[in-house]
Amino acid sequence: MRTPKPLYAHERRMYHPELLTCPPGGDLLVMCNYLAWDKTVQRLDRVLSVASRPGCCRHATCAGSRMRLLAAEGQRIALRGSTYGYDVLVRLGWWRQEYHATYREIHAELASQVCISESHVGYLYHQVSLPLLACHERQHRDHLAQIAQQQGGLIIALDGLAPQGGEPHIGFIRALTSGLPVRSGWLCQQDQPTFEAFLEPLKHLEWPIRAVLSDKQTGLVPAVATVLPNSRYQFCQAHYLRNLAEPLTAVDSAFKMERRKTVREHVGDVLRQEPRPAPGHAGVLTVTGLLPSPLEKPTAPAAPCAPLRDTLPVPEAEADEVITQRVRHTRSLRTLKGRPPFRLAGIETYERLQNVASLSLDLLATRYESRLAQLSQGLQVALAPFAQISQEVQQGAAWLRDIAYILEPPTAHPLSAAHVAGQLRGYLDTVLRLPKGTPTV
């Protein structure tokens, strides 16, 4: 075993109970002739040697004689059984939760202030910091009770997250209206018995569970029916729409890849061209801050009364700048990312590239530039084969928006579940009866 490093305290503190009288009897407390605890605590700014002397009632017949009252201020230095201050635990948990730092990165940050090993960083996070965080979340219990009183119970949402690297599945139970976490934990398996064990503590809450919202994960639906048989159950609309949009998302993704390849073949040479910077700029486009670039002085005064013309010639530098911006915008559109189910990258990129081609034609009507002509013609040729698939994806996206509108209409008076189900069933039957030429994505 490695020899522990000695710690030299900067300060010695002795704590006594803040109470002067015995709570049960009211007599004066006397200090015991021993220490309840005595330890060295590492904080971020210094090392402390702290101890606490308990107090008790001097009357043997009083109930306070069997009590050992400690100082509250002393217990705010560090947890019982821990030699690291609360500030160390808070800093460790903050780096882990907010910045997703690894234990090695946290250890590198803390090593200059406290003596700690990398393995002990992981121990403190799992065994001390996370329980403290759970205690902090339980302080919202009064707020949760107020919500349950207003609603006549709780409406909860169940969801999960599968981490990478084969780690266990993480399950979450949240109060739907407030987002407060009710329960969370790692689930080694994803079957009905595991979900039942995860949901079992909900039966012991003092508030009834009015409704449950979740996806159709295997084993979860029968587990909810077994543990919470009197609660209403509804599938999550976000999961429903996301699953409904999976075929459309797959078609849109393939459409995006094919269109990107075609655009690269036709206008790749234009997109790879980058104009040389103007003399004196050295590639610097825009500079702001305390030391911006100085303004250029005009070489000659402007004419006092220049005659107006129908068409003013555009300076060469300004024309190059306009074309360069069009080229850069087109290049950025090739890497546009979507957010299913409503924002599809393939169809959005197609529409915005069409706008670039149309605007390029308008600019060519004012002034001809070879790069702009190549960009406009190349985009028209590259986008032409995708007109049909674009219409199909747009039609599928329109159906999806209609379904989302039916599930959550913007009405002042909420509709019943039966009414919404009837509207959705009628809309889906209408879509199925469309002609054969209708796109099926």
User: For position 306, what pLDDT does the model report?
Assistant: 47
> Residue 12 and residue 51: Cα distance in Å, rounded?
8
Supply the pLDDT for residue 311: 45
Residue 50: is it exposed, middle or buried by C-beta count within 10 angstroms (0-12/13-18/19+)?
buried
Residue 305 has what pLDDT? Answer: 47
d(CA 276, CA 281): 10
Compute the C-alpha angle 71/73/74, nearest 5°.
70
Distance CA 252, CA 353 (A): 15
Q: Which two tokens stand for residue 88?
A: 């160390």
How is 418-432 classified by DSSP, letter by letter? HHHHHHHHHHHHHHH
pLDDT on residue 280: 52
Q: List the chain pLDDT tens, one digit each, 441 residues.
A: 566 667 888 889 999 988 888 888 788 888 888 898 899 999 998 899 999 999 888 888 888 788 888 888 888 888 888 899 998 988 888 888 888 888 899 999 898 889 988 888 988 988 888 888 777 766 778 888 888 888 888 888 888 776 666 667 788 888 888 888 788 778 888 888 899 998 998 888 888 898 888 888 888 889 999 999 888 888 877 777 888 888 888 888 888 888 888 888 888 888 887 665 555 555 565 566 666 666 666 555 555 544 444 444 556 667 777 788 888 888 888 888 888 888 888 888 889 898 988 888 888 888 888 888 888 888 899 889 988 888 888 888 888 888 888 888 776 677 777 888 888 889 888 888 877 545 555
Residue 145 CA to residue 154 CA, distance in Å, equals 9
In angstroms, the first-to-last Cα distance of the chain is 66
Query: To which residue do tokens 């029968």 refer?
Result: 222
pLDDT for the residue numbered 167: 67
Residue corresponding to tokens 């080229």: 327
For the chain, the domains span 13-135, 152-235, 237-274+315-441
Please give the pLDDT value at position 274.
Answer: 64
CB contact at 8 A, 64 and 38: no
Q: How far is CA 311 from the centre of its chain?
A: 52
Q: Is 237 helix (H, G, I), strand (E, B) or coil?
A: helix
9 contacts 40 by C-beta, under 8 angstroms = yes
152-235: in CATH 3.30.420.10:
yes
Nearest by Cα to 396 from 353, 359, 364, 441: 441
CB 252 within 8 A of CB 345: yes
Torsion of Cα atoms, 283 then 285 then 290 then 293, to 10° = 70
**Distance in angstroms (rounded) separating the CA atoms of residues 26 and 10:** 38
Question: How many CA atoms are closer than 13 Å to the CA of 64, on its beta-carbon side?
Answer: 21
Instruction: Say what the pLDDT of residue 292 is.
Output: 65
Distance of CA 364 to the CA centre of its chain: 44
Count the Cβ atoms, other than its own, within 10 Å of residue 7.
Answer: 15
